[in-house]
């Protein structure tokens, strides 16, 4: 019955709900995992990926319940063997890595101690010394810098990426023959995720383990899996090699999945061209540093330089994008632009007026001109107010209208953003994410602002809802002449909407360019690294192994001298160690701050000089 | 002139009392006792000490009981109901009234103080002359007195220059602790108690006064090794300590506690009508009780039968300002009886019809020391409120109450304060003169020339029959009119002790003679 | 760790200063004339005025407070009204009686009684932990099932029992009626057992409730759900991780609940006539002995500030994230 | 191109989800049996405390010395219908005194909790929301206040002046508000981090408007919800004060002083001290049952399990 060289075979596995006998979270799934093979599994949110992952190793409890099927590892059925035998297999010959690294270990115990604890729990005969050496050995294998030191550090002292590496150590330390990776890149930034994928590929040969690689994004699985299964509502609808799946998808669901994938490079993919209009808002050399008490000291502080000299001009009616990974300072920049916080140095001018020079009354008046739309639809609206009242709130604050006039403006705004006016006195509790974001838009719209700052406003919506809101933004831009600032980590969205794009790294804009220039011919090495890690099926113009070096962005407290990207830049020159490159203007309105680009330009100008 | 029954009769001082005849109770000393392994007696006292060991510096009953163990007295007054006037000799061997102003004491030989000093007539002289000074707080002496030392063992109390009969010292001698001359002159009285009694003071350990048997006590070394006299302010704790064996003898029991102990085996109850009356003292030297009509109104408002009902076995009725056991007791005819009409009439007469216009009156009592005080305090408050008095009743812990008890210039704290007065001798002046004479006014602070004149008249009467008549027919009726204080009832002292604690004698004022006690 | 300690001690010192000032002012502001209280009820008015002048009670409160701090620095908490050196309770001496001058130092009275009170409180905590730890943990591990209901019921009943009533009944039953456990006064360790039990009944409801809530909470954590998948056995998970993480809220709460523990302690010492700090305080209250009340209040507040620091230290030792 | 209707139809919502969290907490609490039991007991007691003393002719403080020490119904021989729970050592009816005592106790409990809630939450919200200087000052005061144990504060103040009900409420409230301040502050801090506060700020709302319109309604109901447990805690504390003589002074009966007086007669008339003890136990159990049920409900709703 078991395939001869399959190490894990699953037959008719079904999982349901205790309360509801005929509900099926996992519905009659069968597959085989070949020894040393990587089997991919993709499925959208809610398709039962995690439940399947945990069901395979008898790890599910109430309210879920097994409704049939069995899982054979070598000759034992994992679902029925007694507990002491199960503990010999689970965590020993079958490793498991979860999707939330930050919460995977006990926050009050150093990580080394917990790995040793697991090792000696799985095979008690191992001495503490042996377990520690083994752990250190695998820690080095996953390329965690200075493992001896980090062995004694606590989980909260690790970044997301580093913590996931620790969990990989935790899974591989027992040299398992099967590894279940449950959506391990979901919580990570694109560059860090790409490094983890590359790490898994290297380790695979070294540890010769069979891997069930589960993920919600096909491009991630496509790079690593020998074969891919597609999961829809607890059923496997298709199984094929990645190439076959992409080129000749059979099942309807797989086709719709492929169509909804983000596209950046492709023959008919083009970004909008830049507009030449006067400046609406200009940001000049803005700095913002937070002072946080250093752990365990009395008075000295850590200076977290969140924004280190950002200059940006925003043109009227333009969509400008600000992209960058987490920790690059874009949310701080958002707060500065919305004037929720004031920069220590540098100025922000709106319509020529310097915001820091205004008194409270003038500032509140001017606030009507620029509005901020928030990211999370559920927590950005007060929970105990009717829709109408929420939209009326800004009018009440600024005392623009009352009574019937107020009602009319609210209704007009609701209609304009596509909300059924009958929702006016209903609570927000029952509305969908899309409807909630429309309330946010309406709430800003009533003040007739000129500038809208969108802080990851669309990233929490599904593709269908997102495209509808694009149309709405587009329509509003045409009718009201709005200017948008898109702050996002989703490159596909920025590619589709923004005229110009600014790339941020460690509190600074390293490159500002027009849409097509940035996506097709980015000047700054970091832009190229970022684009190389974007999970898309399109052909990447820049390969990640060329541009994406190991390691994580340095902490904003200890910023290395010279260019802040040099520690991860494959093209770093000697000069980069010493001098922090200034932003140089490029032809076509872009700007880049990188010595390499400066030198190329000098060479070109010299060449041009010699030619003339 | 040796003292014997016949000579005693001849002496004019005690003619009225002589009928029952005082005689030496021989049996009192010779009760057979055989040496056994006796334990230290744990006695739980209900009242605190004053912190100053000088017997003349206070009038606190708790410390007087302590002094009865440590100090020696010329005579002792057992005041047994069938023979209240009997005196028993301790430091004195005989007592003779030489003339109206001279009373001669023959002293026992070979007596030593606890610090080894020999006891002589000089000590008696120093004690009497020091303790009778007017500045001494314990105003037990009828007046100043001089003592002539005839020889080492004969002392004559001489009251010639002070104008009152020496016969007053006949009974007083049972209540005046004798101190050593050296201590008095050396000012060492306050530091440590040094007497000739059956028990020596060892140390004060928290609330426990540790006493040791005095091997060379003149009347025979005590059988028990010592006494731990501990002050425990809470009546329930005293009761529980006895029942659980932590204590051998406790005092001041209430009715319910007596019933409980009677049901249990292994305990003995000792009940005796005491020399103590419980009084409601008015602060007569300040508003509003400087007006006798208001005092009388309060007296009429209180139904003393209800209070006696509450007291149960711990109280007996009495209609005078001294206990029936005392010399000169009489059921005063015009003793203010319970009549709300008279009370309202007096209130109206005094200008406060129905109690309107009267200030808020503070009535202070102690709790935990005298039996049922808080209980009848609440009842008196209710009765007075019924008649329109606005009473703020506060029952205070003993030490706090004791610190607010006595009068002070401008009137003592509060307006009415409850207190009992027990003195270890039939001598009535230990109560009447101490409280109602303007020279002492201990608690109520009354200064009334009429009262003073009757008191002096009574004190200076040489013939006891005449003295009794003055007390009964002039003094008591006047007190009934002026009501500086209202005597509620006479206390019945109830002690409870373990069965195996025998040979103990409890005096009617609470003092205990444990020199013959055995405690298996 | 050291700088954390110094910072907390510094904060503690400030808090203590505020507390001392609060109590000091309270005693002077609340109705009732301090000078009269000092010389006692029987002293004539002019003695009161003279005493007030002598002690500088008419000066402005801050001036008095600075002077009081001076004394406090040398550990002088003033003298009791009613207790001579021997520690006995005395009263009724004449107002100008020389014996009134050498009253006992409040400092000595307090320090003499601390060992006994600590012994009582320590034993009570041990009893409370024995009673409530298994109950709380079982309830936390099985939310909604009979263990949870049992813990909930026991907690509700224990917290509702008026401890002073329970004290009287038990004192009556055990030491008097049955005579097995002596409980009145203190003549040996066995006298602490019964009062400690009554005290424990007062403390355990908080421990049961906090423990069950925090353990139930911790069991929902991600690292607890993932642990079995990583190969850890259930017993190990509960002991080494669940209880360890759940103990932090318990520690923090202990700092706060200690206040109400003190209330129960005072009453228990009164009922069992247990000669500890509580008995001293209660007597001081009944006798209106203000120097002792003031001295005890400041001493206990200082102890609480210190205990809270220790609790925070222990909490940050267990969970380093707390070290701020 | 006007996109009129919202795209996905509003999913059918069960009525439970439509209510505000406060109503959901109440509904969840009411459904629990322990709440029903507690509430039933409390109603019976309240009825007894408020109505019975009015309708019964006997006055709780009137003494009938002859009829003292009457045992409760069916115990001993001398029991009598007029005094179902017997009489005390001064002949006063125990049932009436307990009920009047209950009335005072509950009144003090509720008033103190209200005082603590108002003062504590106001300061907590302000310090939580304003932050920086005001926060440190208020928090330092709270720390100072918390380090003076409630009993010591009560003793210091009530020990001097004559304790009256308002004085007791003031003292207990003074000692208790820091706990509420801390809870309110941490809740306000959590709420402040929520996005919709940032949204309101951007619209130009002032701090005060945000606190009153948004933070308070979100933070306060859950705290108020749990205050029932504190009423029980204050009641038992008030009876302790009464027991050591610092509660409301006689002749007004309170649990504390009845038990204190009855302690002396525990051996022969045990009911004098026991009846108020039982009453207190009964009231506190009812309050604690209700309180804990509400607390569990609140925890469930806030954790989204409801």
Indicate if C52 and C123 belong to the same structural domain.
Answer: no
Q: Which chains, if any, share at least 3 CB pairs under 8 A with chain C?
A: A, B, D
Look at residue C238 and tell me if it is in a domain. Answer: yes
Q: In whole angstroms, how large is the CA radius of gyration of chain D? A: 25
CB contact under 8 A, C296 and D152: yes
CB B512 within 8 A of CB B506: yes
DSSP readout, C97-157? -GGGTSEEEHHHHHHHHHHHHHHHHHHHHHHHHHHHHHHHHHHHHSTTSHHHHHHHHHHHH
Question: What's the CATH fold of domain A35-58+88-259?
Answer: Rossmann fold (3.40.50)
H or E stretch covering B201: strand B199-205
More confident site: D301 or B239: B239
Largest CA distance in chain A: 85
User: In A173-224, which ranges are continuous DSSP H helix?
Assistant: 190-207, 218-224
CB contact under 8 A, D195 and A465: no
Look at residue C249 and tell me if it is in a domain. Answer: yes
H or E stretch covering D111: helix D94-130
Q: Residue B492 has which token pair?
A: 């019945």
**Residue C193, Cβ neighbours under 10 Å: how many?**
15
Q: Residue A569 has which token pair?
A: 């830049």
Reported as a pLDDT band with limits 50, 70 and 90, residue A402 is confident
**CB distance from D244 to chain B under 8 Å?**
no
DSSP state for residue B437 in the 8-state scheme: S
Indicate if C49 and C198 belong to the same structural domain.
Answer: no
In percent, how much of chain B has pLDDT > 90?
Answer: 42
Taking CA atoms, what residue in C is nearest to A171? C230
What are the chain C neighbours of D283 within 8 Å (beta carbons)? 160
* Residue A134 three-state SS: helix
Predicted confidence (pLDDT) per residue in B20-66, tens digit:
334 444 334 443 444 457 889 999 999 988 888 889 888 888 999 99
H or E stretch covering B276: strand B267-282
Q: What is the pLDDT of residue A516?
A: 86
Across-strand partners of A320? A485, A500
Reported as a pLDDT band with limits 50, 70 and 90, residue A433 is confident
Predicted confidence (pLDDT) per residue in B277-290, tens digit:
999 999 998 888 98
Res. B269: pLDDT tops 90 = yes
CB D176 within 8 A of CB D116: yes
Task: Identify the segments of chain D with pLDDT beneath 50.
Answer: 1-11, 305-306
Indicate if C184 and C216 belong to the same structural domain.
Answer: yes
| D-interface mutation test, from C210, C216, C281, C285, most D Cβ less than 10 A away | C285
* Residue B431 three-state SS: coil
Residue of D275, D287, D232 whose CA lies nearest to D93: D275
Indicate if C179 and C39 belong to the same structural domain.
Answer: no
What are the chain A neighbours of C222 within 8 Å (beta carbons)? 98, 100, 103-104
Q: What is the pLDDT of residue C27?
A: 72
Q: What is the pLDDT of residue D20?
A: 65
Residue C233: is it exposed, middle or buried by C-beta count within 10 angstroms (0-12/13-18/19+)? middle
Give the nearest partner residue to C6 out of A54, A295, A298, using CB atoms.
Answer: A298
User: In A173-311, which ranges are continuous DSSP H helix?
Assistant: 190-207, 218-224, 242-247, 252-259
Look at residue C324 and tell me if it is in a domain. Answer: no
- Report the CATH architecture of D31-56+65-266+277-305: Orthogonal Bundle (1.10)
Across-strand partners of B479? none
Q: Residue C174 has which token pair?
A: 């055990």
CB contact under 8 A, D285 and C300: no
Q: What is the pLDDT of residue C323?
A: 61
Return mean pLDDT, chain C.
Answer: 83
Do A and C touch (≥3 CB pairs < 8 Å)?
yes
* C273 torsion bin: left (phi>0), alpha (psi -120 to 50), beta (else): left
- C-alpha to C-alpha distance for D197 and D202, rounded to whole angstroms: 9
Q: What is the pLDDT of residue A611?
A: 53
Predicted confidence (pLDDT) per residue in A281-300, tens digit:
888 888 988 887 776 566 67
- C-alpha to C-alpha distance for D244 and A288, rounded to whole angstroms: 60
Return mean pLDDT, chain A.
Answer: 84
Predicted confidence (pLDDT) per residue in B332-342, tens digit:
988 999 999 99
- C-alpha to C-alpha distance for D183 and D121, rounded to whole angstroms: 8
- C-alpha to C-alpha distance for C252 and C264, rounded to whole angstroms: 20
Look at residue C285 and tell me if it is in a domain. Answer: yes
Give the nearest partner residue to D10 out of A394, A430, A464, using CB atoms.
Answer: A430
What are the chain B neighbours of C287 within 8 Å (beta carbons)? 397, 399-400
CB contact under 8 A, B378 and D250: yes
Q: What is the pLDDT of residue C32?
A: 62
Reported as a pLDDT band with limits 50, 70 and 90, residue C287 is confident
Which of the residue ranges A161-170, A463-472, B139-148, C25-34 would you say has the lowest mean pLDDT? C25-34
Q: What is the pLDDT of residue D21?
A: 67
Predicted confidence (pLDDT) per residue in A226-236, tens digit:
899 988 888 88
DSSP readout, B455-466? HHHHHH--SHHH
Res. B380: pLDDT tops 90 = yes
Predicted confidence (pLDDT) per residue in A473-506, tens digit:
888 888 888 888 888 888 888 888 888 899 988 8
Predicted confidence (pLDDT) per residue in B118-165, tens digit:
999 999 999 999 998 888 888 788 888 999 999 999 999 998 888 888
CB contact under 8 A, C226 and A156: no
CA distances from C132 to A235, C205, C234 (A): 48, 7, 22
For C186, list phi and psi in degrees, rounded to 5.
-145, 110
- C-alpha to C-alpha distance for B514 and B511, rounded to whole angstroms: 10
More confident site: B377 or D69: B377
Segment A257-271 shows an average pLDDT of: 76
Which of the residue ranges A106-120, A376-390, B443-457 would you say has the lowest mean pLDDT? A376-390
Res. A603: pLDDT tops 80 = no
Res. B14: pLDDT tops 70 = no
Residue D87: is it exposed, middle or buried by C-beta count within 10 angstroms (0-12/13-18/19+)? buried
Predicted confidence (pLDDT) per residue in C4-14, tens digit:
778 778 888 88
Q: Residue B419 has which token pair?
A: 């207190």
Indicate if C177 and C302 belong to the same structural domain.
Answer: yes
Domain count, chain C: 2
Indicate if C84 and C194 belong to the same structural domain.
Answer: no
CB A300 within 8 A of CB A499: no
Segment B499-515 shows an average pLDDT of: 90
CB contact under 8 A, B57 and C93: yes
Do B and D touch (≥3 CB pairs < 8 Å)?
yes
Indicate if C191 and C229 belong to the same structural domain.
Answer: yes
Range of the domain at C63: 2-104
Predicted confidence (pLDDT) per residue in C260-285, tens digit:
778 888 888 988 888 889 888 888 88
- Report the CATH architecture of B273-491: Roll (3.10)
Q: What is the pLDDT of residue B2?
A: 39
Predicted confidence (pLDDT) per residue in B89-119, tens digit:
999 999 998 888 899 999 999 999 999 999 9
Segment B190-218 shows an average pLDDT of: 90
Look at residue C158 and tell me if it is in a domain. Answer: yes
DSSP readout, D165-191? HHHHHHHHHHHHHHHHHHHHHHHHHHH
Reported as a pLDDT band with limits 50, 70 and 90, residue C177 is confident
More confident site: A148 or A549: A148
Q: What is the pLDDT of residue C312?
A: 83
Number of H helices, E strands in chain B: 17, 21
Segment C308-321 shows an average pLDDT of: 83
Which residue matches tokens 């009326």? Answer: A392
Do B and A touch (≥3 CB pairs < 8 Å)?
no
Which of the residue ranges A195-199, A211-215, C71-75, C98-102 would you say has the lowest mean pLDDT? C98-102
Res. A329: pLDDT tops 90 = no
Q: Residue D277 has which token pair?
A: 């003890």
| C-interface mutation test, from D32, D147, D293, most C Cβ less than 10 A away | D147
| D-interface mutation test, from C159, C293, C312, most D Cβ less than 10 A away | C159
**Residue A159, Cβ neighbours under 10 Å: how many?**
18
CA distances from B2 to A71, B5, B95, B105 (A): 123, 10, 8, 10
Across-strand partners of B421? B277
DSSP readout, D199-252? HHHHTT--HHHHIIIIIHHHHHHHHHHHHHHHHHHHHHHHHHHHHTT-SSPTTS
Q: How many Å separate Cα C4 from the centre of its chain?
A: 25
Which of the residue ranges A141-155, A325-339, B244-258, D52-66 would you say has the lowest mean pLDDT? D52-66
More confident site: C37 or C296: C296
Taking CA atoms, what residue in D is nearest to B258? D268
What are the chain B neighbours of C175 within 8 Å (beta carbons)? 240, 244
Predicted confidence (pLDDT) per residue in C210-254, tens digit:
888 889 888 888 889 889 888 888 888 988 899 888 888 888 877
Segment A398-417 shows an average pLDDT of: 86
């Amino acid at each position: 019955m078991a395939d001869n060289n399959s190490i894990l075979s699953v037959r008719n596995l079904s999982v349901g709900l205790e309360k509801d006998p005929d509900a099926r979270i996992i519905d009659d799934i069968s597959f085989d995992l070949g020894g040393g093979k990587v089997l991919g599994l993709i499925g959208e949110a809610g398709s039962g990926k995690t439940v399947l992952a945990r069901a395979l190793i008898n790890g599910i409890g109430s309210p879920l319940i097994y409704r049939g099927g069995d899982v054979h590892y070598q000759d034992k059925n994992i679902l029925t063997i007694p507990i002491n035998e199960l503990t010999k297999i689970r965590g020993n010959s079958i490793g498991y890595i979860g999707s939330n690294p930050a919460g995977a270990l006990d926050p009050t115990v150093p990580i080394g101690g917990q790995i040793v604890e697991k090792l000696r729990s799985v095979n008690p005969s191992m001495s503490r010394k042996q377990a520690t050496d083994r752990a250190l050995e695998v820690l080095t294998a996953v390329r965690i810098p200075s493992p001896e030191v980090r062995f004694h550090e606590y989980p909260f002292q690790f970044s997301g990426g580093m913590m996931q590496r620790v969990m990989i150590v935790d899974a591989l330390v027992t040299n398992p023959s099967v590894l279940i990776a449950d959506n391990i890149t979901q919580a990570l930034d694109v560059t860090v995720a790409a490094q983890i994928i590359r790490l898994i590929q290297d380790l695979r040969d070294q540890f010769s383990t069979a891997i069930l690689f589960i993920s919600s994004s096909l491009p991630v699985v496509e790079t690593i899996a020998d074969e891919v299964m597609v999961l829809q509502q607890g059923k496997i609808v298709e199984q094929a090699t990645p190439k076959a799946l992409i080129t000749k998808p059979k099942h309807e669901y797989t086709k719709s999945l492929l169509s909804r994938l983000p596209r950046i490079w492709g023959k008919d993919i083009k970004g909008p061209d830049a507009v030449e209009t006067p400046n609406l808002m200009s940001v000049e050399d803005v700095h913002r540093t937070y002072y946080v008490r250093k752990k365990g000291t009395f008075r000295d502080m850590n200076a977290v330089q969140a924004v280190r000299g950002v200059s940006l001009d925003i043109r009227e009616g333009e969509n400008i994008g600000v992209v960058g990974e987490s920790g690059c300072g874009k949310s701080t920049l958002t707060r500065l632009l919305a004037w929720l916080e004031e920069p220590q140095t540098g100025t922000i001018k709106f319509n020529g007026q310097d915001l820091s020079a205004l008194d409270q009354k003038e500032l509140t008046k001017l606030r009507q001109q620029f509005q901020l739309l928030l990211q999370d639809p559920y927590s950005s609206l007060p929970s105990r107010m009717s829709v109408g009242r929420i939209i009326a709130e800004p009018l009440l604050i600024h005392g623009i209208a009352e009574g019937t006039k107020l009602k009319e403006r609210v209704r007009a705004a609701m209609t304009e953003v596509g909300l059924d006016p009958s929702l006016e006195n209903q609570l927000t509790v029952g509305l969908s994410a899309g409807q909630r974001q429309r309330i946010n838009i309406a709430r800003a719209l009533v003040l007739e602002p000129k500038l809208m700052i969108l802080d990851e406003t669309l990233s929490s919506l599904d593709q269908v809802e997102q495209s509808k809101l694009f149309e709405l933004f587009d329509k509003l831009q045409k009718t009201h002449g709005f200017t948008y600032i898109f702050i996002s980590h989703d490159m596909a969205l920025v590619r589709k909407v923004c005229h110009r794009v600014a790339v941020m790294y460690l509190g600074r804009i390293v490159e500002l360019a027009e849409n097509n220039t940035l996506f097709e011919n980015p000047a700054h090495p970091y832009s190229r690294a970022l684009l190389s890690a974007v999970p898309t099926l399109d052909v990447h113009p820049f390969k990640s192994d060329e541009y994406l070096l190991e390691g994580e962005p340095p902490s904003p407290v200890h910023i290395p001298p010279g260019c802040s990207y040099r520690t991860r830049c494959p093209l770093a020159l000697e000069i980069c160690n010493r001098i922090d490159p200034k932003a140089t203007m490029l032809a076509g309105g872009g700007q880049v701050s990188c010595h390499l680009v400066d030198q190329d330009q000098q060479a070109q100008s010299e060449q041009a000089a010699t030619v003339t | 002139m040796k003292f014997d029954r016949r000579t005693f009769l001849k002496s004019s001082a005690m003619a009225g009392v002589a009928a029952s005849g005082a005689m030496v109770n021989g049996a009192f000393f010779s009760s057979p006792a055989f040496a056994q392994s006796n334990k230290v007696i744990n006695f739980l006292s209900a009242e605190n000490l004053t912190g100053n060991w000088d017997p003349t510096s206070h009038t606190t009953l708790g410390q007087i009981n302590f002094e009865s163990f440590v100090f020696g007295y010329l005579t002792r007054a057992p005041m047994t109901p069938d023979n209240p006037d009997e005196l028993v000799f301790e430091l004195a061997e005989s007592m003779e009234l030489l003339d109206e102003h001279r009373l001669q004491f023959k002293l026992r030989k070979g007596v030593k103080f606890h610090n080894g000093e020999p006891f002589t007539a000089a000590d008696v002289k120093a004690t009497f002359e020091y303790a009778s000074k007017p500045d001494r707080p314990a105003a037990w002496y009828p007046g100043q007195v001089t003592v002539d030392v005839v020889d080492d063992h004969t002392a004559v109390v001489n009251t010639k220059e002070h104008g009152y009969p020496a016969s007053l010292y006949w009974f007083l001698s049972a209540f005046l602790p004798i101190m050593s001359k050296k201590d008095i002159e050396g000012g060492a009285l306050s530091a440590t108690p040094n007497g000739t009694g059956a028990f020596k003071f060892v140390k004060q350990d928290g609330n426990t006064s540790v006493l040791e048997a005095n091997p060379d006590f003149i009347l025979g070394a005590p059988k028990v090794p010592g006494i731990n006299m501990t002050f425990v302010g809470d009546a329930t704790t005293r009761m529980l300590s006895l029942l659980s064996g932590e204590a051998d003898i406790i005092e001041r029991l209430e009715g319910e506690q007596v019933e409980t102990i009677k049901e249990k085996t292994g305990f003995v109850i000792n009940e005796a009508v005491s020399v103590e009356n419980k009084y409601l003292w008015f602060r007569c030297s300040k508003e509003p009780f400087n007006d006798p009509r208001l005092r009388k109104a309060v007296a009429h408002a209180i139904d003393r039968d209800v209070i006696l009902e509450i007291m149960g076995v711990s109280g007996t009725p009495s209609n005078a300002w001294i206990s029936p056991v005392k010399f000169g007791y009489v059921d005063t005819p015009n003793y203010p009886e319970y009549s709300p009409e008279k009370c309202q009439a007096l209130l109206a007469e005094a200008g406060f019809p129905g109690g309107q216009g009267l200030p808020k009156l503070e009535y202070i009592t102690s709790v935990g020391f005298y039996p049922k005080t808080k209980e009848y305090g609440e009842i008196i408050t209710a009765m007075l409120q019924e008649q329109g008095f606005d009473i703020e009743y506060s029952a205070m812990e003993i030490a706090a109450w004791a610190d607010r008890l006595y009068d002070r210039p401008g009137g003592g704290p509060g307006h009415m304060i409850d207190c009992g007065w027990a003195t270890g001798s039939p001598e009535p002046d230990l109560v009447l003169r101490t409280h109602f004479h303007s020279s002492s006014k201990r608690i109520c602070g009354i200064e009334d020339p009429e009262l003073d004149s009757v008191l002096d008249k009574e004190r200076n009467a040489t013939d006891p029959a005449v003295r009794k008549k003055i007390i009964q027919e002039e003094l008591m009726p006047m007190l009934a009119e002026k009501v500086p204080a209202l005597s509620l009832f006479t206390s019945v002292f109830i002690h409870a002790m373990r069965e195996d604690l025998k040979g103990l004698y409890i005096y009617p004022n609470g003092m205990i003679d444990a020199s013959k006690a055995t405690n298996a | 760790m050291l700088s954390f300690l110094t910072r907390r001690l510094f904060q503690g010192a400030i808090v203590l200063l505020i507390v001392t000032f609060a109590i000091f002012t309270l005693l002077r502001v609340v109705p009732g004339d301090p000078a009269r209280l000092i010389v006692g009820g029987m002293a004539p008015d002019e003695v009161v005025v003279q005493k007030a002048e002598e002690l500088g009670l008419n000066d402005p409160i801050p001036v008095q407070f600075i002077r009081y701090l001076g004394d406090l620095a040398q550990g002088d908490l003033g003298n009791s009204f009613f207790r001579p050196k021997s520690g006995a309770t005395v009263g009724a001496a004449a107002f100008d009686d020389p014996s009134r001058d050498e009253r006992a130092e409040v400092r000595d009275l307090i320090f003499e009684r601390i060992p006994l009170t600590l012994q009582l409180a320590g034993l009570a905590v041990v009893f409370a932990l024995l009673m409530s730890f298994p109950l709380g943990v079982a309830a936390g591990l099985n939310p909604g099932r009979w263990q949870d209901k049992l813990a909930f019921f026991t907690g509700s009943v224990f917290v509702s029992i008026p401890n002073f009533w329970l004290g009287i009944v038990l004192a009556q039953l055990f030491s008097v009626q049955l005579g097995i456990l002596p409980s009145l006064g203190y003549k040996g360790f066995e006298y602490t057992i019964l009062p400690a039990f009554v005290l424990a009944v007062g403390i355990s409801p908080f421990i049961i409730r906090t423990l069950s809530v925090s353990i139930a909470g911790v069991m929902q954590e991600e690292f607890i759900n993932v642990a079995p998948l990583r190969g850890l056995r259930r017993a190990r998970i509960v002991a080494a991780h669940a209880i360890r993480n759940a103990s932090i809220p318990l520690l923090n709460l202990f700092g706060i609940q200690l206040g109400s523990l003190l209330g129960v302690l005072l009453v228990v010492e009164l009922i069992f006539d247990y000669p500890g700090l509580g008995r001293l305080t209660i007597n001081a209250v009944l006798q209106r002995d203000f120097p002792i009340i003031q001295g005890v209040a400041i001493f206990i507040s200082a102890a609480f500030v210190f205990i809270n620091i220790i609790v925070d230290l222990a909490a940050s030792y267990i969970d380093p994230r707390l070290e701020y | 191109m006007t996109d009129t209707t919202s795209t996905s139809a509003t999913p059918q919502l069960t009525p439970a989800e439509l209510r505000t969290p406060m109503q959901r907490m109440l509904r969840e609490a009411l459904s629990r049996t322990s709440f029903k039991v507690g509430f039933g007991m409390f109603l019976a007691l309240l009825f007894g405390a408020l109505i019975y003393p009015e309708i019964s002719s006997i006055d709780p403080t009137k003494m009938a010395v002859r009829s003292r020490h009457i045992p409760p119904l069916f115990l001993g021989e001398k029991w009598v219908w007029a005094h179902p729970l017997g009489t005390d050592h001064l002949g006063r009816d125990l049932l009436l005194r307990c009920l009047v005592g209950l009335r005072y106790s509950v009144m003090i409990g509720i008033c103190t909790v209200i005082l603590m809630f108002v003062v504590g939450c106001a300061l907590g919200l302000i310090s939580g929301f304003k932050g920086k200087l005001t926060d440190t000052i208020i928090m330092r005061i709270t720390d100072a206040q918390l380090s003076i144990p409630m009993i010591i504060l009560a003793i210091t103040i009530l020990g001097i002046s004559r304790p009256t009900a308002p004085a007791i409420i003031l003292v207990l409230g003074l000692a208790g508000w820091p706990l509420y301040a801390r809870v309110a502050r941490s809740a306000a801090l959590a709420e402040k981090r929520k996005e919709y506060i940032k949204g309101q700020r951007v619209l130009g709302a002032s701090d005060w408007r945000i606190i009153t319109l948004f933070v308070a309604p979100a933070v306060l109901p859950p705290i108020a919800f749990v205050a029932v447990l504190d009423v029980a805690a204050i009641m038992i504390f008030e009876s302790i004060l009464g027991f050591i003589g610092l509660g409301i002074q006689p002749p007004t009966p309170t649990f504390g002083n009845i038990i204190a007086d009855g302690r002396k007669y525990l051996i022969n008339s045990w009911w004098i001290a026991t009846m108020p003890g039982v009453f207190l136990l009964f009231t506190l159990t009812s309050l604690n049952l209700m309180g804990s049920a509400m607390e569990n409900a609140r925890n469930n709703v806030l954790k989204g399990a409801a």
